[in-house]
Amino acid sequence: MANWIFKTPYVLEGPSGGHRLFYFAKLRKGISIAKSGGVYSQVRYVPDDTIASYQEFYSGGCNHTVNDATKAALIAGGVGVTEANFTAQ
């Protein structure tokens, strides 16, 4: 079994500041992926005390090491994860 680096999906949010030049800049905000009840979902702004209640949790904006089976499950989960979210380790 190969290991993969999983980078969670992200959205671009802006403006990134108050000055008028910042209106042209966008920030990448990672979206967390959680598995609860056997179903994957995208979650944002998760309180720290609820993370332990999920079966699996992949924090947005971070790199996670996963195996082939988890990679296939994340892609099939229908939460915006594609082959592009993975790089070989």
| 58 within domain boundaries | yes
| 1 within domain boundaries | no
| 87 within domain boundaries | no
Query: How many structural domains are present in the chain?
Result: 1
pLDDT band at 2 (very low <50, low <70, confident <90, very high): confident
Given phi > 0 = left and psi -120 to 50 = alpha, else beta, which region is 43? beta
Rounded percentage of the chain residues whose pLDDT exceeds 90: 88
pLDDT of 65 reads: 97
| 69 within domain boundaries | yes
CA distance 72 to 66: 10
| 62 within domain boundaries | yes
Which residues touch 76 (CB under 8 Å, ≥6 apart)? none
pLDDT (mean) for 19-28: 91
pLDDT (mean) for 26-39: 96
Residue span of the structural domain in which 22 resides: 7-80
